[in-house]
């Protein structure tokens, strides 16, 4: 009997893409699958025909041979549905239907599952972050149960091979008219069942235990940096390796300094007199106090840079600077005498001696004047 054209069987055009081929085959397979059409020879033949067409057209090299030479180009290469040569039916099956049932492998947790990673937020003071510190942290964890040596079975007994899956951990399940592999529901994939569970750990094989770890925080860390402690995460399942612990840095706000990368900033209040006459100030650094020379006629907001008094970055490179911004303070709680002195002082600033004493004031008034002139009030 002459074979029908594969494209015609699947009802697709000759330039159909991979997805279109799959879709067409899936539709036909659903319709003509023998499980859905028991004792229907015609349906079975249609199913075989569609499977064969799919097997050829889904394979790039077979499809190319078919396009060039027709059935002669691929003769004997197709399995023709069940059995036969070429790819087995389950291969096609897994390929086409895998996305419906969530992949070819069995679901659920298998054996030797790696433990989960844990995250711990470590709060540090700025000084600790800058200079480094060894910190003891307590994290929740598990350890192997000593009573049952981690088996989960009561003393004198041991876990038995699961009868449902015969220790395979996986079972074949009928899902509609398809057979799929799944994690065994009886033993949840472990392949073993515990008839009389250990009382100390309720059959878990492990017990909760807070553990104390010593974390060496290197100098120069900043918020967001993290340290990985390999193998300090959650215990693995059924002998799987443990996860990792990530210690995440969170640096607390400081009362004096703010940090921007490797530089530190601080504000230093100075009196109107020190600002005018100049002087020496004591400013704080993370290494203690240092002297800072203020020149005469220092204006408020001026930034003074103290080289290398910032932070040495944890990833290397030169230390940053400490930037001190001076803030000239207006005196408060003045006595009568102090007020008199200021008034007296004020009278000397009237410019009658031909000298300007307010460096910003003159240009500011000029700016305001020209602004109003332009507005033409
Ligand atoms: Zn136990
Ligand atoms: Zn089982």
* Model pLDDT, residue 193: 87
pTM: 0.55
Whole-number Å distance between alpha carbons of 105 and 111: 13
Instruction: Give the tokens for residue 363.
Output: 């240009």
* Model pLDDT, residue 76: 63
Closest ligand to residue 189's CA: 2
To the nearest 10 degrees (0 to 180), the angle between helices 18-32 and 89-101 is 100
To the nearest 10 degrees (0 to 180), the angle between helices 41-57 and 89-101 is 90
Instruction: Give the tokens for residue 10.
Output: 């699947």
Closest ligand to residue 158's CA: 1
Closest ligand to residue 143's CA: 1
Q: What CATH number does the domain located at 258-330 have?
A: 2.60.260.20
The domain locations on the chain are: 6-87, 118-251, 258-330
Distance 356 CA to ligand 2 centre (A): 95
Domain 118-251 bears CATH identifier 2.60.40.10: no
Max CA distance (Å), the chain? 123
Closest ligand to residue 145's CA: 1
Distance 237 CA to ligand 1 centre (A): 14
Distance 100 CA to ligand 2 centre (A): 24
Closest ligand to residue 108's CA: 2
* Model pLDDT, residue 135: 93
* Model pLDDT, residue 249: 93
Common-topology check for domains 6-87 and 258-330: no
Distance 183 CA to ligand 2 centre (A): 8
The phi and psi torsions of 276 (rounded to 5 degrees) equal -75, -45
Q: What CATH number does the domain located at 6-87 have?
A: 1.10.287.110
Whole-number Å distance between alpha carbons of 249 and 120: 9
Distance 170 CA to ligand 1 centre (A): 25
Distance 143 CA to ligand 1 centre (A): 10
Per-residue pLDDT of the chain (377 residues; tens, 9 = 90+): 567 889 989 999 888 888 888 888 888 888 888 777 778 888 888 888 888 888 888 888 888 888 877 777 777 665 433 333 333 343 334 444 433 333 333 334 445 678 888 889 999 999 999 999 999 998 877 888 888 888 888 888 888 888 888 888 888 877 677 777 888 888 888 888 888 899 888 888 888 888 899 999 999 999 999 999 988 888 887 678 888 999 999 999 999 999 999 999 999 999 999 999 999 999 989 888 999 999 999 999 999 999 999 999 988 899 999 999 999 999 999 999 999 999 999 888 876 777 778 877 777 878 888 888 877 65
Distance 106 CA to ligand 2 centre (A): 13
Distance 207 CA to ligand 1 centre (A): 8
Whole-number Å distance between alpha carbons of 14 and 236: 51
């Amino acid at each position: 009997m002459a074979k029908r054209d594969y494209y015609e069987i699947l009802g697709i055009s000759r330039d159909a893409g991979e997805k279109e081929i799959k879709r067409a085959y899936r539709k036909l397979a659903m319709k003509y699958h023998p499980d859905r059409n028991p004792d229907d020879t015609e349906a079975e033949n249609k199913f075989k025909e569609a499977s064969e067409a799919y097997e050829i057209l889904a394979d790039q090299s077979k499809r190319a041979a078919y396009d060039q030479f027709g059935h002669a180009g691929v003769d004997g290469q197709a399995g023709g549905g069940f059995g036969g040569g070429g790819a087995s039916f389950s291969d096609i099956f897994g390929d086409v239907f895998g996305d419906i049932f969530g992949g070819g492998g069995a679901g659920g947790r298998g054996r030797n599952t790696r433990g989960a990673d844990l995250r711990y937020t470590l709060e540090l003071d700025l000084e600790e972050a800058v200079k480094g510190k060894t910190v003891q942290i307590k994290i929740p964890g598990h350890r192997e149960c000593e009573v049952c040596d981690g088996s989960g079975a009561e003393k004198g007994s041991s876990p038995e091979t699961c009868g449902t899956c015969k220790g395979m951990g996986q079972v074949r399940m009928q899902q509609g008219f398809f057979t799929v592999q799944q994690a065994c529901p009886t033993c949840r994939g472990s392949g073993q069942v515990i008839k009389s569970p250990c009382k100390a750990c309720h059959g878990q094989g492990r017990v909760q235990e807070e553990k104390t770890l010593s974390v060496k925080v290197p100098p120069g860390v900043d918020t967001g940096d993290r340290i990985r402690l390999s193998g300090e995460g959650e215990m693995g399942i059924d002998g799987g390796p443990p996860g990792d612990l990530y210690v995440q840095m969170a640096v607390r706000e400081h009362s004096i300094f703010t940090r921007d990368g490797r530089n530190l900033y601080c504000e230093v209040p100075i009196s109107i007199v020190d600002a005018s006459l100049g002087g020496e100030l004591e400013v704080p650094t993370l290494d203690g106090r240092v002297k800072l020379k203020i020149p005469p006629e220092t204006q408020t907001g001026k930034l003074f840079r103290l080289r290398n008094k910032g932070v040495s970055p944890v990833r290397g490179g030169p230390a940053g600077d400490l930037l001190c911004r001076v803030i000239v303070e207006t005196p408060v709680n003045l006595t009568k005498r102090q007020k008199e002195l200021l008034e007296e002082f004020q009278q000397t600033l009237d410019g009658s001696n031909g000298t300007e004493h307010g460096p910003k004031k003159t240009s500011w008034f000029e700016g305001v004047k020209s602004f109003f002139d332009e507005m033409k009030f």
